[in-house]
Amino acid sequence: MKEINEKTEIRAIDNLFIDHDDRQIKLSLKKTHEYQPIELITITHFLLSQLQGKNNFILHTNLSDEDLNQIQKHFYDYYILVCCLLFKKNLVIRNAKGQTLYTDDLYNLFISKLKSQEELYARELTSNHVKEVRQRFFSSSNKTKNEEGLSFLIPCFDHLESSGLSRSNYFYNSIKSKGPRDIAVWFERLFTFNDLNISLPHIFYDLSIVINELIQNTHDWARTTFNDEHYISPNIRACTVNIFLENRLATDSSYDHIHEYLKLIHESKKEEIYSPERQTKLEFTNEKVGICEISILDTGPGMARRWLQKDYNDIEKSKEHLAVIECFHKYFTSDNSSRTQLRGRGLSNVIGIIGFSGLIRVRTGHTLLLRNFFRDKVQQSELQRGGIDFNLAEGGLPLVSGTTISILYPFVYTSNVEGE
């Protein structure tokens, strides 16, 4: 039985192959806020890929009786379980003693909790029935969050329309159009209600554009099969936002590409992180550097399959990653419908925003792409020709379902909370 524990690196998960007939895996769970950048989404993406097309899958965990009580109260600390169980209801989850958890109860609990969270996105903060979620994310009196980190997940479970979870109120609203400005309001509240002063007055709107563009891509391209013959079920599209403050960032890990980026940010002078056109110098002392992670996940057809309109069996392994790179070419798409240019424009806009200090990582199909823009800033020629070069463009990895696009973006901040 394969295992993912606290020592398993992202690179090892990328290369972890499980035979199609193997229907169990051992997972040492951490709480959501305890994962380092891109760890949480990588594990979630891997597990969902194993669940797709398999029945009677068993997930062995390290959960204790005390942990089970915490799941009842703080479901957001166990987003991996939320995604996996709502993706595949017949998933068997076992605790550290080998006992099977009663997943029907958990399944219904997660649906109820997520619907309450949806109410938070749809209503004002004064709504009484979302008090628990409001306190978790937006309470200025809960100082522990500055030590634990700030994490939340916005999922769209396309197959759970009957439960009201197929379209998140964070992105969809029947009354008014949701867009970057609406998303930016919630982004800003994460910082404001946690007593953080940030040096980027435009970060909330800029990164909200990133979220909006990438989620729009999943709506247009990740809900149906590569040939648009039918909708995919089960299917998850999700956005995770993780705010990592300076004291939570580990820079000594052996995982090369991501931690090379984090170490570079950590060792740089604060003024090197400031962008003259975007950031305002803080008139505070004790400035620190944090990282915002935005990861967009879908379990759709995958970028190469969608681009080439072929199944993976008909795509040469040596050409798959080239097809994924083509998806980043500005205003260029293989689709002739009303959705034309949405994918190209969206990805091009994302690169334009993060291309001077961010990092992008794409995992789809058998392919991995990565670019460290803090070390290798995007060139104007790349933007003009619409083609983006990557530091890492690798194919031939074990297959994952759909796509994960992860963005890391640095910011300088000060905290009003003593001891942070």
**Two tokens, residue 247:** 């004291």
Does 418 or 186 have the greater pLDDT score? 186
pLDDT in tens, 33-88: 888 899 999 999 999 999 998 888 999 999 998 888 888 888 888 999 999 999 99
Say if residue 420's pLDDT is above 60: no
98 contacts: CB under 8 Å, gap ≥ 6: 60
Q: Residue 310: what pLDDT?
A: 92
pLDDT (mean) for 299-327: 91
Tell me which of 122-131, 163-172, 190-199 is least confident: 122-131
Q: Residue 341: what pLDDT?
A: 41
State the Cα–Cα distance between residues 61 and 286, nearest whole angstrom.
40
Identify the bridge partners of residue 27 per DSSP, sorted by sequence position: 4, 61
State the residue range of the domain holding 105: 2-16+23-415
Q: Residue 371: what pLDDT?
A: 94
State the Cα–Cα distance between residues 1 and 255, nearest whole angstrom.
24
- Distances in Å between the Cα of 241 and the Cα atoms of 17, 35, 104, 156 are 28, 12, 28, 15
Q: Residue 32: what pLDDT?
A: 87
pLDDT (mean) for 181-197: 72
State the Cα–Cα distance between residues 200 and 344, nearest whole angstrom.
27
State the Cα–Cα distance between residues 341 and 330, nearest whole angstrom.
8
pLDDT in tens, 136-180: 555 555 555 544 457 788 899 999 999 999 988 878 865 555 666
Tell me which of 95-104, 139-148, 342-351, 353-362 is least confident: 139-148
Specify if 420 maps to a domain: no
Does 268 or 100 have the greater pLDDT score? 100
Residues in the chain: 420
Q: Residue 365: what pLDDT?
A: 95
Q: Residue 338: what pLDDT?
A: 43
Say if residue 183's pLDDT is above 80: no
CA 24 to chain centre: 24
pLDDT in tens, 206-226: 888 888 889 988 999 999 999
CA 293 to chain centre: 7
Say if residue 12's pLDDT is above 90: yes
Specify if 61 maps to a domain: yes
- How does the average pLDDT of the chain come out, rounded? 82
**Most confident by average pLDDT, 142-146, 198-202, 339-343, 399-403:** 399-403
Q: Residue 290: what pLDDT?
A: 87
Specify if 342 maps to a domain: yes
Query: Percentage of the chain surpassing pLDDT 70?
Result: 79
State the Cα–Cα distance between residues 297 and 315, nearest whole angstrom.
22
Phi then psi for 265, rounded to 5 degrees?
A: -65, -45
Specify if 70 maps to a domain: yes
CB 114 within 8 A of CB 238: no
Place of tokens 């003024």: 271
Specify if 403 maps to a domain: yes
Look at the chain and report how many structural domains it folds into: 1
Cis peptide before 37 (omega within 30 of 0): no
Cα-Cα-Cα-Cα torsion 47, 52, 56, 58, nearest 10 degrees, comes to 0
Helix, strand or coil for residue 410?
strand
State the Cα–Cα distance between residues 329 and 389, nearest whole angstrom.
10
Q: Residue 372: what pLDDT?
A: 94
Specify if 32 maps to a domain: yes
Specify if 58 maps to a domain: yes
pTM (predicted TM-score)? 0.89
Say if residue 417's pLDDT is above 80: no
pLDDT (mean) for 189-208: 73
Does 239 or 54 have the greater pLDDT score? 239
